Amino acid sequence: MTFVFIIAILMTKTSIQTKDKTEQGQFLKIAPFRKHIRKTDVHRHKNYFEIIFLSQGSGSHSIDHHSYPILGPTLFFMRRDQIHHWDIQSEPEGYVIIIKNDFVEESEDLALRKQLLALSQVSCLPVDDESIELHFRLLHLEFERTEKSQKAIIIHLLKALLAKAIDISDRTDSHTTHNSDLFQSFINLLETARPLINQVAHYADLLHTSPQNLNQTCRKAAEQSASELISSYIIGEAKRLLDYTSMSAAQVAYELGFKDPSHFSKYFKRQYQLTPQEYRRRKKA
């Protein structure tokens, strides 16, 4: 099934499906990848960061607007705001780790937060280190235990796994960043707070800092200004709604907090060189 055909089917939907694979009150989940999964509808996950390791399987995994082939051992990283779907051609084998922000907050571990932020910039990572699978196995074994020391052990094992992944990412020239608490908090707001507000001062107030300091922090961490990062998230969400729902451009504008659809159209074109309508027509062509 082609990407365009998938788009055509999904255009009958008025919203993007949201799934939550955790139980109520569960902030962390480590489980084997379900072998029966082959093809899934486009969906996003409910407010958590997901790490997927496939040691076996073939096919493709689409995250936002990119399709990644499943070729040998592969790591996938998905932020809470991203959408994805699977098209798996042979029986998969691997593991899934789901991490909610509550788990990270309760851990009070700054190094863990920095590692997760670094890997949130990566979507797909071919694995050339055999120890990665061992780390996942150990994490799963510890997760299944009920001892009081379980959480501390899991955090240490998780940090070891993430350090391995960052090392692989650095060696393959993937874009990773190691950033401050302020930057992490800003990114968390952009990923979770809705509607997105196109004002640096709005987020600076929420983070109890000045717009100038927030801009300086963003430039140091990501080589982009705060306004550029806000724009990238707004455009990203706009493209998802245009791609995967039947909402009109005006409805998308209101959904994203624009009071005037014409202003949204100009904003979208300034950022993406196409109007929302032109973008949708090109995708459907």
Closest CA to 170 of 129, 219, 227: 129
Q: Report the pLDDT value the prediction gives residue 107, as an integer from 0 to 100.
A: 84
The proportion of the chain whose per-residue pLDDT surpasses 70, expressed as a percent, equals: 92
Domains in the chain (CATH in brackets) are 16-171 (2.60.120.280), 181-284 (1.10.10.60)
Q: Report the pLDDT value the prediction gives residue 202, as an integer from 0 to 100.
A: 95
Cβ contacts of 231 within 8 Å, gap of 6 or more: 198, 271
Q: Which of 64-73, 112-121, 163-172 has the weakest average pLDDT?
A: 112-121
Q: pLDDT (tens digit, 9 = 90+) per residue, 151-173?
A: 899 999 999 999 999 999 888 75
Cβ contacts of 151 within 8 Å, gap of 6 or more: 107
Q: Report the pLDDT value the prediction gives residue 84, as an integer from 0 to 100.
A: 92
Q: Report the pLDDT value the prediction gives residue 127, as an integer from 0 to 100.
A: 94
237-271 residues labelled b (16+ CB within 10 A) or e (exposed): bbbbbbbbbebebeebbebbebeebeebbebbeee
Q: Which amino acid is at 114?
A: K
Query: Can you give the pTM of this predicted structure?
Result: 0.64
pLDDT bin (cut points 50, 70, 90) of residue 9 is: very low
Question: Rounded to 5 degrees, what angle do the CA atoms 228, 79, 153 make?
Answer: 130
Instruction: Compute CA distances 98 → 18, 92, 135, 254, whole Å.
Output: 15, 18, 15, 31
Q: Report the pLDDT value the prediction gives residue 13, as an integer from 0 to 100.
A: 58
